[in-house]
Structure 1
Amino acid sequence: MHSLKGLLVCFLIYHYVQAETSSSPSTPFDCTKRHAKKVNHIEECTKESRVNRNYIEKMKAGYWSMPKITTSLKYWAFCYLKRMDMMTEAGVLRQDVVLQQSHSKKEKRQIVKLIDKCMYDTAHLPLETAWHYLYCFHKANYKLCKRIHGI
């Protein structure tokens, strides 16, 4: 249902832009590709990390309390954030990319506070950093996490 709503929004934006300008910056196909991107990254990283698919399904449903946090689950989080271009290979969060997911100044301030809260103060392995960040962000504000990170 959520993806259908996103496609409808893309379709409406495309037609609005077509009516206002003579040349459109994107086509409905491009918009559809961008919307499907998060879903593709989830699936690709699930395959790449060989994580138990049930864990990812639970996370997508909003249930993040796992009986055991495995290395493959941490690798999945790292893979996903890298593919979303939100984290570098070295495990550095790209705050500018995360903030691009929001248009509200109030919400951006909230995101910055969550980033400050959810990032380690000392160096950790990229896998640890990625999992800690996503898990903490979700615990602090699961609706915002779902909208910003797609999971």
Structure 2
Amino acid sequence: MPISRRQLAVSLLAADHIADRQAIAAFVADLATQPAPNPFAQTSAGAVRQIWRQRAIEFQSFNVEAVGLACLFTTLSGMGVDEALVQEILRAGSHTANVFHHGDGCWIVGAVLYGKSGVALPTVSLPRSLRGVLSSRSRARRPGGQLDLFARIGS
């Protein structure tokens, strides 16, 4: 894997367009999660869209729990089919995460966490080191009070 699990988890936490990013990042950061063999790391948005549409149908048919699919499809719909992507595959037990980025691991296009048929998704909490990243990001983004330009007029 060209980037560390920690960097991947931090990048996932920064991916505001992924609704379940905290759950996926916690899975990626967990010590039990390890990179899996990945013969097709280099891919394209069109290939990812095609493969995951089929997997979504299979997941529904075989009662496979997954998070991140809808967000992945939304992001892919705005991309050209030839746009290059890199796929990271990570596994722990009966669960797998597929994470897609542009090659630097910084901007995450999408991620899917899923298990085997009939197996619930893991409930893994974020490590303390990553919780700090999340809380500092949320403090930095917290909007301040709105400036009232007319408050002093007529005083």
TM-score, scaled relative to structure 2 = 0.28
Normalized per residue, which structure has more strand?
Answer: 2
User: Which protein shows a greater Rg?
Assistant: 2
Normalized per residue, which structure has more helix?
Answer: 1
Q: Identify which of structures 1 and 2 has the higher relative contact order when contacts are C-alpha pairs closer than 8 Å and 6+ apart.
A: 2
TM-score, scaled relative to structure 1 = 0.29
